[in-house]
Structure 1
Amino acid sequence: MKDSELKERLESYLGKRLQGTVEIANMVSLSGGACQENFSADIKVNGGPESGQYQTVYRTDKGAALLASLSRIDEFKVCRMAFEAGVKTPEPFWLESDQSVTGNPFYFMKRIQGKATGRFVVKDPSLNKVRKQITQELAENLARIHSVTPEKCKDEKLKEVLNLGQYVSGKTVAQGSVQALRSQLESMDGAYPAMEIILNWLEKKAPESDAVVLIHGDFRTGNFMVNSEGLQGIVDWEFAHWGDRHEDLTWLCMRDWRFGKLNKEAGGFADRSEFYEIYEKAAGVKLDPTKIRYWEVMGNLRWAIGCIGQAERHLSGKDKGIELASIGRRACEMEYEAMRLIEESIK
C-alpha cells in the first residue's frame, strides 16, 4: 500500500473512531525491526471527546513474523501492562485488530524524543555526561518490568500467550527455553554441531529460577531511546514473555550488543557490575553468577539461531532484504562466544 493511501485510510478510520475530523501530517517511515514497521505521524483531531494534537508513532506488521514474536495486539497489551507498572515506555493507544482497515492490526503510541542507534548510545559525545544516569535509569526500569508477574496479569488470554506454549514455573523456565530452541534448531536445514553441543550443556545445567517475571525479550542497546537528558523510553516489546530475570540481564551484556565498546559489558555503555548492583538494589534481589553465565550462553545460542532464521527469510523469498541476508553470517560469532563461556565455566 502506498504511503498516501495509508494516510487517507488512517484519517478516515480515526475520524470515525474519535468522532471528529482528523488530519495527519508529517507521516514518515521510521527504521523498523525485523517483523514490524513504524511511521512517525502528527495527528490533529478537530471535535469529539478526544480533540487535540498528538505526536505519535503508528506501529504495524510487515513481512513474515519471527518465531516467538508477539502479534501487534498482544504487544499492545504488554506495552500497556508495562506502562501501568511505571516502566518508562511510550504510552500505547488506539489499538485496531480489524485487518480490513489497513491489511494488518495496528496501534498508535506516543512519540518520544531521542535516538536508539547503538553507535550513538555508546560513542556520541552528547551523552558523555549522562551515561551513568542512563545506566541508573535502565537498571531501575528493568526492575519495574520484572515486577510484573503472571499473577498480576488480569488478561487470561495474554497470560497464556506469554507462556510461549510452554508450562512456565520456577523449575521449568530454563528447561522450557532449551526445548523451544531445540525445536527451532530441528526445524532448520543443515547440521549445526556446535549448537547441539551448546544445547546439550544448557539442558544438563538448567537451573531453577528464583521467580517467573515479565521479560522484555530484547532488552539491549538499540531498543531504548536516549538523549542528552537521559533515558526517554524503552521500546520494541515484540519478544516479551514470562521467564527468568537473568535472561534480560545477560541479553543486554552479550558481546554482540556492545557496538565496539567491548570493555563496557553492559550494552557498550556501562560496567556489568555497576548495572547489576543498581538492579539488585532496585529489584530487592541478589543475582546468581552461575545463572548469569548460564543465561548468557542461552542468549548467544538464541541469537545464533535467530541469525540463521533471518537469513532464511531472505533466501526463501518470504522477506527479501540485504540486512536479513548479511545477518546470517553472524551465527558463527555467537556459537564461538557461547562455547567460550562454557569453556570458562569449567576451568
Structure 2
Amino acid sequence: MKDSELKERLETYLGNRLKGKVEINHMVSLSGGACQENFSADIQVDGGPEQGIYQTVYRTDKGASLLASLSRINEFKVCRMAFEAGVKTPEPFWLESDASVTGNPFYFMKRIQGKATGRFVVKDPSLNKVRKQLTQELAENLAAIHSVTPAQCKDEDLKRVLDLGQSFPGKTVAEGSVHALRLQLDSMDGAYPAMELILNWLEKNAKPSDASVLIHGDFRTGNFMVNSEGLQGIVDWEFAHWGDRHEDLTWLCMRDWRFGKLNKEAGGFADRSEFYEAYEKAAKVKLDPKKVTYWEVMGNLRWAIGCIGQAERHLSGKDKGIELASIGRRACEMEYEAMRLIEESVK
C-alpha cells in the first residue's frame, strides 16, 4: 500500500473512531524490522471527545515474523501493562485488531524524544553528565517491569502467549528456557557442538527462580531512548515473556551490547556492580551471583542461535541483506563468551 493511501485510510478510520475530523501531517516512515514497521505521524483531531494534537508513532505488522516475537496486538497489551505498572515507556493507544482497515493490525503510541543508537548512548559527549543518572533510571524501570507477574495478568490469552514455549510442566523457569532453546537448535540445519556443550551445562546447572515475572526480552543498549536529560523511554517489547529476572539483568551486561566500551559491563555505560546494586535497592531483592553467571551464559547461547537465524533469513532469500549475513558469522563470538563464562565459574 502506498503511503498516501495508508494516510487516507487512517484519517478515515480515526475520524470515525474519534468522532471528529482528523488530519494526519508529517507522516514519515521510520526504521522498523522484518516483522514490524513504524511511521512518525502528527495527528490533529478537531471535534469529538478526544480532540487535540497528538505526536505519535504508528506501529503495525509487516509480512514476516521473527521467532518468538509478539504480534502487534499482544505487543500493545504488554506495553499497556508495563505503562500502567509505572514503567517509563511510550503510552500505547488506539489499538485496531481488524486487519481489513490497513491490511494488518496496528496501534499508535506517544512519540518520545531522544536516540537509542548504541554508540550514541555509550560515547556521545552530550550524555556525559547523565550516564550515572541513566544507570539509576534503568534499574528502577527494570524493577517496575519485573513487578508484573502472571497472577496480575487478567488476559488469559496474553498470559498463555507470554509463556512463549518456555512452560515446562513441573520444571523450573531455567529448565523451560533450556528446553525451548534445545527445540530451536534441533530445528536448525547443521551441527553446532559448542552450543550442545553449553546446553548440556545449562541443563545440569539449572536453579529455581525466586519468581516468574514479566521479562522485557531485549533489555539492552539500543532499546531505550536517551537524551541529555536522561532516560526518555524503553521501547521494542516484541520479545516480552514470563521468565527469571536475571535474564533481563544479564542481557544488558552481555559483552555484545557494550559497543566498544568493554570495561563498562552494564550496557557500555556503567559498572555492572553499580547497576545491580541500584536494581536490588529498587526491586527489594538480592541477586544470586551464580544465577547471574547462569543467565549470562543462557543469553549468549540465545543470541548465538539468534545470529544463526538472522543469517538463515538471508541465505533462504526471505530477507536479503549484508547485515543479516554478517550477523550470522558472529555466532562463534557468543559461543566463545559462553564457554569462557562457564570456565570462569568452575575455577
Q: 1:292-322: CA deviations, max 9, x gaps?
A: 0000000000001111111111221222233
1:196 to 2:196 alignment? yes
Q: 1:57 & 1:253 partners in 2: Cα distance?
A: 29
Query: In structure 2, what is the equivalent of residue 288 of structure 1?
Result: 288
Task: Report the equivalent of 2:125.
Answer: 125
Map 1:176-191 → 2, pairs under 5 A: 176-191=176-191
> What is the percent sequence identity of the aligned residues?
89
Match of 2:36 in 1: 36
Return the alpha-carbon distance in structure 1 between the equivalents of residues 210 and 114 of structure 2.
35
Post-superposition CA distance 1:258-314 (Å, at most 9, x none): 000000000000000000000000000000000000000000000011111111112
RMSD, matched Cα: 1.2
Distance in structure 2 (CA, Å) of the matches to 1:114 and 1:90: 12
- Hey, what's the Cα distance between the residues in 2 that align with 1:311 and 1:174? 27
Contact 1:168 1:242 in 2 (8 A): no
Structure 1 residue runs of 4+, over 6 Å off? Answer: none
- Match of 2:277, as an amino acid? E
In structure 1, the partner of 2:148 is 148
**In 2, Cα distance between equivalents of 1:144 and 1:214:** 9
CA separation in 1, counterparts of 2:54 and 2:109?
Answer: 10
- Aligned AA (1:96): E
Is the 2:168–2:175 contact (alpha carbons within 8 Å) kept by the matching residues of 1?
A: no
Corresponding letter in the other structure for 1:133: Q
Describe the SS at the equivalent of 1:113.
coil
Structure-2 separation of matches of 1:168 and 1:148? 21
Query: Is contact 1:171–1:207 with CA below 8 Å preserved after alignment?
Result: no
Secondary structure at the counterpart of residue 180 of structure 1:
helix
- The one-letter code matched in structure 2 to 1:32 is G
- For 1:59 and 1:86, the matched residues in 2 are separated by 22
Contact 1:170–1:209 (CA under 8 A) maintained in structure 2: no
Which amino acid in 2 is paired with 1:99?
A
Paired residue secondary structure (1:246):
helix
For normalisation by structure 1, the TM-score amounts to: 0.98
- What residue number does 1:245 align with? 245
Alpha-carbon distance between aligned partners in 2 of 1:239 and 1:248, rounded to the nearest angstrom: 11
Q: Secondary structure at the match of 1:22?
A: strand
Task: Determine helix, strand or coil for the equivalent of 1:133.
Answer: helix
1:264 matched residue in structure 2: 264
Q: Identify unmatched segments of 5+ residues in structure 1.
A: none
Instruction: Tell me which amino acid in the other structure corresponds to 1:184.
Output: Q
Contact conserved, 1:24 with 1:43, CA < 8 A, in 2?
A: yes
Q: Structure 2 CA distance, aligned partners of 1:86 and 1:23? A: 31
**What is the rounded CA distance, in whole Å, between the counterparts of 1:28 and 1:293 in structure 2?**
43
What SS does structure 2 have at the residue aligned with 1:37? strand
- Post-superposition offset of 1:31: 1.6
Task: Quote the offset at 1:178 in angstroms.
Answer: 0.4
Aligned residue in 1 for 2:17: 17
* Aligned counterparts of 2:166 and 2:255: Cα–Cα separation in 1: 28
Deviations 1:3-50 (A, max 9, x none): 222111111111111111111111111122442221111011111111
Partner residue in 2 for 1:341: 341
Structure 1 residue identity aligned to 2:288: D
Aligned-residue offset at 1:125: 0.3
The answer on whether the counterparts of 1:58 and 1:108 sit within 8 Å (CA) in structure 2 is yes
* Counterpart amino acid of residue 51 in structure 1: Q
TM-score normalised per structure 2: 0.98
2:159 alignment partner in structure 1? 159
Matched residue type, 2:266: A
Aligned positions of 1:215-254 closer than 5 A = 215-254=215-254
Letter in 2 for 1:152: Q
Q: Tell which deviates more after alignment, 241-250 or 151-160.
A: 151-160
Do 2:116 and 2:224's aligned partners in 1 also have CA atoms closer than 8 Å?
yes
2:165 and 2:180 in contact (8 A); partners too: no
SS of 1:16's partner is helix
Which of 244-253 and 101-110 deviates more?
101-110
1:281 alignment partner, SS class: helix
- Structure 1 residues 312 and 63, CA, compared in 2 at 3 Å: closer, same or farther? farther
Q: Aligned-pair distance for 1:63?
A: 3.4
Partner AA of 1:35 in structure 2:
C
The unaligned stretches of length 5 or more in structure 2 are: none
Q: Counterpart of 2:55?
A: 55
Between the aligned partners of 1:190 and 1:72, the Cα distance in structure 2 is 32
Q: Deviations over 1:41-90 (max 9, x none)?
A: 10111111111100000111223211111111000000000000000000
Name the stretch that deviates more: 322-331 or 193-202.
322-331
Tell me by how many angstroms 1:92 deviates. Answer: 0.2
Aligned to 2:94: 94
